[in-house]
């Protein structure tokens, strides 16, 4: 991992409905961020709506560390699963460097995510095609 991308801290701010994550270097530069929604319908879940690593810090394991931290939070929150869509949905400052759905699927598969039915009430997604391509990480209790 290049010195400028080295992770010093993964900060999680939690409230009842959301978890915001920032990955910081020792110089307090943000090299990764995630926005997660908590849900409980037919299943309890964490839905990762935004997950991004700074373009200059990609392919160095930052995203993997962030997802491992999210899996730990999921255990802590005692949810059934972590849910993602392998597509960039939300706007952000870094999104002029998109990553293909194939690459995102490879990233999530390596972390143990498998195709699954979306938990009911992943409401803000209107794209039916995308809903059919969701991936889940089952949390062992």
Ligand X SMILES: CC(C)(COP(=O)(O)OP(=O)(O)OC[C@H]1O[C@@H](n2cnc3c(N)ncnc32)[C@H](O)[C@@H]1OP(=O)(O)O)[C@@H](O)C(=O)NCCC(=O)NCCS
Residue 71 main-chain phi, psi, to 5 deg: -65, -35
When asked if residue 88 is in the footprint of ligand X (CB under 6 A), the reply is: yes
* Burial (CB count <10 Å: 0-12, 13-18, 19+), residue 126: exposed
| Residues 31 and 54 sit within 8 Å (Cβ to Cβ) | yes
Instruction: Tell me the pairing of strands 81-84 and 44-53.
Output: parallel
String of contacts with ligand X for each residue 100-139, x by CB under 6 A: ---xx-xx--x-----------------------------
Toward ligand X, which CB reaches closer, 78 or 87?
87
User: How many Å apart are CA 40 and CA 121, to the nearest integer?
Assistant: 9
7, 58, 74, 136: residue in contact with ligand X (rule CB under 6 A): 58
Reference 37, options 16, 56, 57; nearest CA is 16
23 near ligand X (CB under 6 A): no
Stretch that binds ligand X, among 17-25, 82-90, 115-123, 126-134 (CB under 6 A): 82-90
CB nearer to ligand X: pick between 84 and 139: 84
- 33 belongs to the binding site for ligand X (CB under 6 A): no
Question: Quick one: 5 or 139, whose CB is closer to ligand X?
Answer: 5
């Amino acid at each position: 991992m290049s010195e400028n991308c080295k992770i010093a801290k993964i900060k999680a701010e939690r409230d009842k409905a959301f978890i915001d994550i920032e990955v910081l270097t020792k110089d307090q530069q943000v090299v990764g961020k995630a926005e997660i929604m908590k849900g409980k319908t037919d299943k309890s879940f964490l839905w990762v709506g935004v997950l991004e690593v700074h373009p200059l810090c990609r392919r160095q394991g930052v995203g993997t560390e962030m997802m491992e931290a999210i899996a730990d939070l999921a255990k802590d929150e005692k949810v059934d699963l972590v849910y993602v869509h392998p597509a960039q949905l939300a706007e952000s400052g870094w999104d002029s460097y998109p990553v293909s759905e194939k690459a995102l699927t490879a990233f999530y598969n390596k972390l143990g995510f498998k195709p699954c039915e979306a938990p009911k009430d992943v409401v803000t997604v209107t794209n039916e095609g995308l809903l059919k391509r969701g991936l889940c990480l089952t949390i062992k209790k």
